[in-house]
Chain A
């Protein structure tokens, strides 16, 4: 059965995190997963548009869901913030028919579209686990990452509030670790792996934002991790781009999970644009 999804890129993968887009496309192509980029889908709002006007944020996201339904495809997110915001909107609409009909009325009035409630919305990692399968992934690995100790950083929107999370046990998940293990790397569970990276308050309180990222990176380092693996490009931005200001001695590579998979599939740092990261690959990560 061929796998085909409507790719919701999110803004960062088209902006400050273009390496995520590259890695996703390369890895999916190699694994035989077909992606149709939703070039007409709007920003999910990142929980910020809803601070200003919740219903507008929900109409915009209902439009995205409708666009995927029109294509007859399920949505693949590659940003956990987009995933969490989409899921929250979807749960809100499906659990409240009255609100859904008001959102749909507005959507229809402005765009002629309608969200029917049939589309499945998942993050890349979840799709890999559920649809592609870890056994197949293991078979596809050509360069097992046996020297790498990899600490997964989940990102808030993957975990909380629980009713919007699609992880089996959001208080003690192992989905990312299972992927890391399938690549031949050693997963490192460290105390701060489920905490917030601080990105959402970067513009409001930079000191606190960087303290949160710094704590997470230090925690991973203390637990013996060679790199921090992210599934949200916003966590990646905060931990990578601000790392020199947090503590230049940390020198901890921050790697998108698609990049880690790409390395195990035999792709190079250059292919995966890992040299665009602010913290260049070091130690065990550099040696792959």
Chain B
């Protein structure tokens, strides 16, 4: 039997790496009349479902994927988030839970 688990991998530029996208977002804040916002960093979030024998096996797959493909460890850091078992996510959306 396998378990289907939904994960998210959040990838962001490592501290100290210049993030031109973040800088561009910061540059637009003046136009919106927003003050007091700084250190904007733009990353990306990848969500995926993993079928594996157990949680540890699933986690190992996500770790490998994150380190070898989804993030470039030279310039990016990543953080893995467990979103839950897929069946419970499906029943949540079926019951009309706010997303």
Query: Are A and B co-members of a single complex?
Result: no
